[in-house]
């Protein structure tokens, strides 16, 4: 039996780091990225090119991207950009791939990037025109629900994707932005998008807010998604909600997938060492579990 | 379509409370149990009748059991007993059902209850003879692996269950004592035990140590188990491994099952309120996620 391949897409250096209030020294960021790559991860969301006044944590975005692109030529790096200006810097750094985020819930989009759908899609159109050779992943935010608009009907997601598709987008990242997904919903959404857009690439981006990070990610895999975004140590989410809001922990998912006979090509122990390093050095919110296990202290009954 | 029923078996008052170092006032224990019952839970592991010198947290076992049995006549209460002496007190309190634990890994059994398999089964035999009308659930500890003996072959679990079955046991609780289960293993074990012992009742007891509490519990449900042991707030496990070692959180599992169309007959909001009360009052290890969500603070991107 050939093993089923799952590609782990590490987004800790963006979504994880971005939610840490205190600035993480560039050197520590690079050390973590190095550990992630040494574990076998081949695709990393390296940073986001945003206004450093809005998100000071990402003020070293250019430096991090430039160094990594030079040091690891075989790795598939990409970065989040909120607008044309961000895309420009990303391209200047040498990135060949970017993520651009629009929320299916227009209310959330207005809160998150201060734009209407028309404005966001128009911004995307500009980037496509200016950089026709750059791969653009469309981050489909709030795909599984929104605190402002509630449930998102499947038809609305389809119309949203079609709008991106018609502009030339062939790579989508289906995001559970506020952690409202559950397995049955993941199944419904993923089966529909895969069926409707068979010539596109899909990734999934899950938050562990309601303790379904692992099961939702796994459900997506079972439905046919083979690129899963996760964050090392489960870092991310909101520092005011400890243990609750990070992305699915990379090492926890990798541990399970390796046990289940999936081919992740990732060395769990190397990854865990890096996750533990971050837990030790960063004052953040960690939703990973393995980082808390102390082998000398097995006291469950 | 009729909804599939899943019975939530709340074990927080035993496994959860037992792992809290500081004594929880009896009144708070009773308040938590009251909230659990008001949410709709009908089966509760109320306490354990152990030596109070070994586990001072359970020194009020008799009081808690007596009060609850009188106050909630419709609820299916049971308690953990390690030996004949514990069984005697449980019966005196009026309990009609007890749990007796033996580990499949004999090494773990020696460490946990200081007995060989022969000694443990002989103790079980005594209880059965003395109390023929009491329902005894056999807690099948380390069924999914053990830190001392490693993997547990499925044949070993079968032989173990058969030994209990031949003594008259018809109710088993398959326990992931140290959090080594993963969905594929859960499937293998559960499918085998259900097939081999079709006239028995089965429950499952999962720890969230490796972030698979929800997915393992759900896998068991999919395989045909309809009684799932969980702990309110995810309380339990080891206070030295924060966020890692508690049982699956009752409210997190209930939230998901209710969303998925399962009939738990439990009011999530009432349950969550009780879980939050415990988080507020107890200095313990909470692996539940919903208790950390602050509705005014939805800041994921």
Q: Which residues contact B217 (CB under 8 A, 6 or more apart)?
A: B204, B206, B228, B230, B248, B253
Q: Best residue in B82, B181, B211 to probe A by mutation, most A CBs within 10 Å? A: B211
Cβ of B210 and A252 within 8 Å?
A: yes
- Measured between beta carbons, which residues in chain A are less than 8 angstroms from residue B298? 147, 178, 238
Question: Which residue in chain A has the smallest CA separation from B241?
Answer: A292
Question: Could B256 and A212 be called an inter-chain contact, meaning their C-beta atoms sit closer than 8 Å?
Answer: yes
Q: Spell out the per-residue pLDDT of chain B, length 301, in tens.
A: 567 999 999 999 999 999 898 999 999 999 999 999 999 999 999 999 999 998 999 999 999 999 999 999 999 999 999 999 999 999 999 999 999 999 999 999 999 889 999 999 999 999 999 999 999 999 999 999 999 999 999 999 999 999 999 999 999 999 999 899 999 999 999 999 999 999 999 999 999 999 999 999 999 999 999 999 999 999 986 544 444 478 999 999 999 999 999 999 999 999 999 999 999 999 888 889 999 887 654 444 4
Residues 200-239 (B) with a CB less than 8 A from some CB of A = 207-215, 218, 236-238
Task: Classify B16 as helix, strand or coil.
Answer: helix
8 A C-beta contact, residue B204 and residue B228: yes
The overall average pLDDT reported for chain A is 93
The CA-based angle A272-A179-A222, given to 5 degrees, is 70
Least confident of A38-42, A233-237, B276-280: A233-237
Residue in chain A closest to B148 (alpha carbons) equals A298
Give me the domains of chain A, ranges plus CATH numbers. 7-288 (3.20.20.70)
Phi-psi region of A154 (alpha: psi -120 to 50; beta: other; left: phi over 0): alpha
Contacts of A236 in chain B (CB under 8 A): 300
How far is the alpha carbon of A142 from chain B, nearest alpha carbon, in Å?
9
Neighbours of A83 (CB within 10 A): 18
DSSP calls for B37-58: HHTT--EEEEEE---TTT-GGG
**Overall pTM surpassing 0.90 (yes/no):** yes
Q: Per the CB < 8 Å rule, is A238 touching B299?
A: yes
Which residues between 140 and 159 in chain B have a beta carbon less than 8 angstroms from any beta carbon of chain A?
141, 147
Per cent of chain A over pLDDT 90 is 88
Residue A294 at interface with chain B, using a CB cutoff of 8 Å: yes
In this complex, do B241 and A297 lie within 8 Å of one another by their Cβ atoms? yes
Please name the member of A215, A241, A252 whose beta carbon is closest to the beta carbon of B292: A241
CB contact under 8 A, A141 and B301: yes
Residue of B nearest to A113 (CA): B301
Catalytic hit among B146, B175, B200, B238: B238
Is any Cβ of chain B less than 8 angstroms from the Cβ of A244?
yes
The minimal CB distance from B289 to the residues A19, A178, A208 is found for A208
The verdict on B297 touching A (C-beta cutoff 8 Å) is yes
SS3 per-residue string spanning chain A:
CCCCECEEEECHHHHHHHCCCCCCCHHHHHHHHHHHHHHCCCEEEEEECCCCCCCHHHCCHHHHHHHHHHHCCCCEEEEEECCHHHHHHHHHHCCCEEEEEEECCHHHHHHHHCCCHHHHHHHHHHHHHHCCCCEEEEEEECCCCECCCECCCHHHHHHHHHHHHHCCCCEEEEECCCCCCCHHHHHHHHHHHHHHCCCCEEEEECECCCCCHHHHHHHHHHHCCCEEEEEHHHECCCCCCCCCCCECEHHHHHHHHHHCCCECCCCHHHHHHHHHHHHHHCCCCECCCHHHCCCCCCCCC
* Tens-digit pLDDT profile for residues A241-258: 444 478 999 999 999 999
**The pLDDT of residue B299:** 45
B299 in catalytic set: no
Contacts of B80 (CB under 8 A, 6+ apart): B14, B45, B47, B48, B49, B50, B86, B98, B99, B100, B101, B139
Counting one residue from chain A and one from chain B, the pairs whose CB atoms sit within 8 A come to 151
Residue A240 to residue B177, Cβ atoms within 8 A: no
Residue A59 scores a pLDDT above 60: yes
| Active-site hit among A146, A175, A200, A238 | A238
Q: ipTM of this predicted complex?
A: 0.94
Scanning A170-199 for CB atoms below 8 A from B yields 177-179, 182-185
């Amino acid at each position: 039996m050939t093993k089923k391949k799952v590609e782990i897409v590490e987004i800790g250096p963006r979504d994880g780091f971005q939610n840490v209030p205190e600035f993480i020294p560039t050197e520590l960021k690079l050390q973590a990225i190095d550990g992630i790559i040494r574990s076998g991860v081949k695709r990393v969301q390296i940073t986001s090119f945003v206004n450093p006044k809005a998100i000071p944590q990402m003020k070293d975005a250019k430096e991090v991207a430039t160094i990594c692109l030079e040091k690891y030529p075989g790795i598939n790096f990409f970065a989040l950009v909120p607008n044309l200006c961000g895309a420009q810097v990303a391209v200047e750094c040498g990135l060949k791939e970017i993520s651009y985020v629009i929320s299916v819930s227009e209310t959330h989009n207005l809160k998150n990037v201060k734009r209407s759908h028309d404005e966001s899609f128009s911004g995307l159109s500009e980037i496509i025109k200016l950089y026709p050779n750059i791969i653009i992943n469309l981050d489909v935010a709030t795909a599984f629900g929104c605190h402002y608009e509630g449930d998102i009907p499947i038809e609305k997601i389809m119309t949203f994707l079609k709008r991106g598709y018609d502009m030339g987008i062939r790579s989508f990242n289906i995001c559970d932005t506020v952690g409202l997904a559950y397995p049955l919903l993941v199944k419904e959404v993923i089966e529909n998008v895969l069926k409707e857009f068979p010539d596109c690439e899909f990734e999934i981006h899950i938050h562990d807010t309601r303790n379904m990070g692992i099961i939702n990610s796994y459900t997506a895999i079972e439905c046919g998604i083979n690129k899963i975004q996760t964050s090392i140590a489960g870092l991310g989410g909101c520092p005011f909600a400890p243990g609750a809001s990070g992305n699915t922990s990379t090492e926890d998912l990798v541990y399970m997938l390796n046990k289940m006979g999936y081919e992740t090509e990732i060395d769990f122990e190397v990854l865990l060492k890096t996750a533990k390093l971050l837990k030790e050095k960063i004052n953040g919110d960690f939703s990973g579990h393995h980082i808390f296990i102390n082998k000398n202290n097995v006291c469950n009954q």
